[in-house]
Amino acid sequence: MLAFVLPLLGMVSLAVLPVRAQSVVTLIVTDPLTGIGIYGMDPVSYFTEPEPLRGRGDFEFIWNNVPWHFASAANRDIFKGAPEIYAPQFGGHGAMGVARGYVSDSDPAMYVVFKQRLYLFYSAANREAFLLAPDDAAIAAEANWVELSKDLSIR
């Protein structure tokens, strides 16, 4: 009888071990329907235009396994040369969420270009919180992103 119970106990103990779930949140924020980076907005236009522009499919570039759309061939080519400068910080996740230690979604209409970097936010209130102490928020977010990004899937 003991020979039957011991293997059974081993199977039960394996069944209750914690399992680490794989993240369904991706490293780079994409439109959930199209998979395009930052919901199809042209990341370069945040730096060059009064308001960001929607990108077009005929000006596409794949970076970090994500398609990015641009309003012009010129913007696409600028991005190709330095994507780490023009892509939003923290993959486009809400900068204040990252500064506070968690990953949140973002709205591409809620943004700040600070020290030549693009930060996106979940809400106007989060953007305003960032602007109260942008250096502190950016430093905290950078520090938190090292750990937070480890649990995000590439795509």
In whole angstroms, give the CA distance from residue 97 to residue 145.
Answer: 10
* pLDDT at residue 5 is higher than 50: no
For all residues of the chain together, what is the average pLDDT? 86
Residue 102 has pLDDT above 60, yes or no: yes
86 neighbors 78 (Cβ within 8 angstroms): yes
> Would you say residue 133 has pLDDT above 80?
yes
What percentage of the chain has pLDDT greater than the value 90?
73
Query: Is residue 17 scored above 50 in pLDDT?
Result: no
Q: Cα angle vertex 67, ends 108, 58, to 5°?
A: 95
Please give the average per-residue pLDDT across 5-20, as a whole number. Answer: 42
- The mean per-residue pLDDT over the stretch 2-29 comes to 50
The yes-or-no verdict on residue 7 having pLDDT over 60 is no
pLDDT at 26: 78
Q: pLDDT category, 21, cuts 50, 70, 90?
A: very low
**What does the pLDDT read at residue 27?**
87
Cα–chain center distance at 104: 8
Rg (CA), the chain: 20
pLDDT tier for residue 1 given thresholds of 50, 70 and 90: low
pTM of the model: 0.81
pLDDT above 70: percentage of residues in the chain: 82
